[in-house]
Amino acid sequence: MTAINHAVTGSIIAAYIHDPAIALPLALLSHFALDSLPHLGIDSHKTRLFKKVLATDVALSILFLVVIVIFQPANWLLIIACALLAMSPDLMWLPPFIRELKHRPARQQNLIMRFHQSIQRHEYTWGYLVEIPWLIVTFSFLTITLNRHWG
């Protein structure tokens, strides 16, 4: 799943569950639940398409976090924390990605990386057909939820 989908899903958890002791672990677990669903996958990380998708995803994720900080809805700090925590497991792929780009040999994956890789077996080029509707529905749901707290 893309980072923006992880961030919005984590934010929904925080918008509904105001207890950090519950919301934060659920946000982290939501990452793995989403990654077990069919989602976008591009075979080679060196392609122009992958780099465009990655850049767009990073830009949308940063924009989303900035908007939360600017508008500061109820529990905005928890919303930010849950969004970041929901995205964070994908940071484990950054060192191998950099090694791949530098044409260096891959290192052996640890237990968490192997688990994470195993649940991502449903990555497809057509995965955007899941990703885009997920983003639209969850973002709409989050917006409605946060508007109710403001109204």
Which pLDDT tens digit goes with each residue over 2-36?
999 999 999 999 999 999 999 999 999 999 999 99
User: Per residue in 32-89, pLDDT tens?
Assistant: 999 999 998 887 777 888 889 999 999 999 999 999 999 999 999 999 999 999 999 9
Q: Strand 123-124 and strand 39-40: pairing?
A: parallel
Rounded to two decimals, what is the model's pTM? 0.90
Query: What is residue 95's predicted lDDT score, i.e. its pLDDT?
Result: 74
Helix (H) or strand (E) holding 95: helix 94-101
Residues whose CB is less than 8 angstroms from the CB of residue 150 and which lie 6 or more positions away in sequence, other chains included: 73, 74
The encoded tokens of residue 59 equal 């830009």
Average pLDDT over residues 122-134: 93
Question: Does residue 151 surpass a pLDDT of 60?
Answer: no
Phi, psi angle pair for 44, to nearest 5°: -110, 130
Task: Reply yes or no on whether the pLDDT at 149 is more than 90.
Answer: no
- How confident is the prediction for the chain on average, in pLDDT? 90
